[in-house]
Amino acid sequence: MISSLYIDKAVCEYPIVAILKERLQHASISEVEDSTALYRALSAHADPIGQGKRILFLTRNRGRFIRKCPGTKSYICCGYQILHIGTYCTMDCSYCILQAYFHPPVLQYFVNQEALFAELDSLFACNKPPFRRLGTGEFTDSLIWEPWTGLSKMLVPYFGRQDRIVLELKTKTCSVENLKGLPHNKKTIVAWSLNPPAVIRSEERHTASLEARLQAASRCEAWGYPLAFHFDPLILYDGWEQDYKKLIEQLFAAVSAHNIVWISLGSFRFMPGLKPVIQKRFPQSGILYGEFVPGLDGKLRYFKPLRIELYRKVATWIREFAPDVLIYFCMEDEKVWKKVLGFVPAERGGLPRMLDTSALKHCGLQNME
């Protein structure tokens, strides 16, 4: 899908740049002093958001590679940390926050990976806190880069050589071939965002089908990887109960419950600024026309009783197959936790501790406490 490759002149000599030029030789290639010319050309396009998915900019990450998840004090955060490998995505989901997060949005891949691994070295050498969870799926999809970069072939063995930190690769693709045969030592969790086929067809353009995602998960389980799944965003529509129940049945027909480290639940929510973007780019979508109210973080969310009903049913269906799996909410308040799961994370040491404990159990982490 890449039609244009822009290269920051400051990184032209990096070895990965030559590799990417060869693998993307069908694309037009330009060397630029900075991102100005790229952004100018992109902003002039009729659909900058869509066009940005076809333009790849190779540059340096001038900030930190390891960052805290941008949660909010108003809702319970999982304490996830981001491994910032690049930005944006080739897939095109109607609800994607990245459409309104970057101005203009463009695929960026950071080639100064010596700095990335230097930060990881420092993190691995630190003894506190005892466990950490890093993921590459916050500002991009973790595996869209695999056909070009093979980044997982470096990251997975690297994490496999230590026993204090886990890497989560979160995706809507089935690009897992590079994971086969790697010495992961269970320190990489491969995770999928899931939705029913009806939602995938209408709201998740250019993503892998549900069947393909579950087949990829089954392959990764056969290769010994721990798994995770994210039902986020859960979307209310006519027939959602039947569709999500069937999805959960399909999930546990494909993989083993005992190999799942965690499952997150999150309902559709959006910043007000995303609404006109969805209306313009996805005029056939109906996801905006539900019962939404402003949340404590300024995002519009389903009316709380609707969210609670949604979560209760999905959690119940999951528990029928996996009574012991850790289910958690992405950015919900204590009332929702108590109403749906019967407890709040503070009663169990906090959500980060709950997730760390599950990683300790499934990934063979060293107990430093």
Instruction: Report the pLDDT value the prediction gives residue 242, as an integer from 0 to 100.
Output: 98
Mean pLDDT lowest for which of 3-7, 68-72, 172-176?
A: 68-72
Confidence of residue 129 (pLDDT cuts 50, 70, 90): low
Please name the amino acid found at residue 197: P
Triad 173, 178, 181: Cα angle to 5°: 130
Instruction: Report the pLDDT value the prediction gives residue 189, as an integer from 0 to 100.
Output: 98
Instruction: Report the pLDDT value the prediction gives residue 102, as an integer from 0 to 100.
Output: 72
Helix or strand or coil: residue 173?
coil
Instruction: Report the pLDDT value the prediction gives residue 369, as an integer from 0 to 100.
Output: 57
What does each C-alpha distance from 327 to 36, 164, 317, 354, 358 come to in angstroms?
A: 44, 22, 12, 10, 11
**Stretch 267-296: mean pLDDT, rounded?**
95
Instruction: Report the pLDDT value the prediction gives residue 176, as an integer from 0 to 100.
Output: 98
Is the pLDDT at 73 greater than 80? The verdict is: no
Residue 274 DSSP code: G
Instruction: Report the pLDDT value the prediction gives residue 44, as an integer from 0 to 100.
Output: 85
Q: What percent of the chain has pLDDT over 70?
A: 99
Neighbours of 172 (CB within 10 A): 25
Q: What percent of the chain has pLDDT over 90?
A: 87
Average pLDDT value for the chain: 94
Which of the pair, 157 or 296, is modelled with greater confidence?
Answer: 157
CB 51 within 8 A of CB 45: yes
Confidence of residue 132 (pLDDT cuts 50, 70, 90): confident
Is the pLDDT at 65 greater than 90? The verdict is: yes
CB 78 within 8 A of CB 328: yes
Which of the pair, 162 or 71, is modelled with greater confidence?
Answer: 162
User: How far is CA 125 from its chain centroid?
Assistant: 26
Please name the amino acid found at residue 309: E
298-350 pLDDT tens trace: 999 999 999 999 999 999 999 999 999 999 999 999 999 999 999 999 999 99
Which of the pair, 73 or 274, is modelled with greater confidence?
Answer: 274
Compute the half-sphere exposure of residue 9: CA atoms within 13 Å on the CB side of its CA. Answer: 6
162-215 pLDDT tens trace: 999 999 999 999 999 999 999 999 999 999 999 999 999 999 999 999 999 999
Where do the domains of the chain lie, and which CATH numbers do they carry?
66-86+127-363 (3.80.30.30)
Tokens 């690297």 correspond to what residue? 158
CB 317 within 8 A of CB 310: no
User: How far is CA 231 from its chain centroid?
Assistant: 11
Is the pLDDT at 368 greater than 80? The verdict is: no
| Exposed/middle/buried for residue 30 (C-beta within 10 Å: 0-12, 13-18, 19+) | middle
Handedness of CA 335, 331, 292, 320 (dihedral sign): negative
CB 152 within 8 A of CB 143: yes
Instruction: Report the pLDDT value the prediction gives residue 36, as an integer from 0 to 100.
Output: 86
Which of the pair, 28 or 73, is modelled with greater confidence?
Answer: 28
C-alpha 53/C-alpha 295 separation (Å) is 30
Compute the half-sphere exposure of residue 73: CA atoms within 13 Å on the CB side of its CA. Answer: 0
Tokens, residue 205: 């353009």
Instruction: Report the pLDDT value the prediction gives residue 352, as an integer from 0 to 100.
Output: 94
Q: Give, rounded to a whole angstrom, the gap between the first and last alpha carbons of the chain.
A: 48
Instruction: Report the pLDDT value the prediction gives residue 212, as an integer from 0 to 100.
Output: 98
210-267 pLDDT tens trace: 999 999 999 999 999 999 999 999 999 999 999 999 999 999 999 999 999 999 999 9
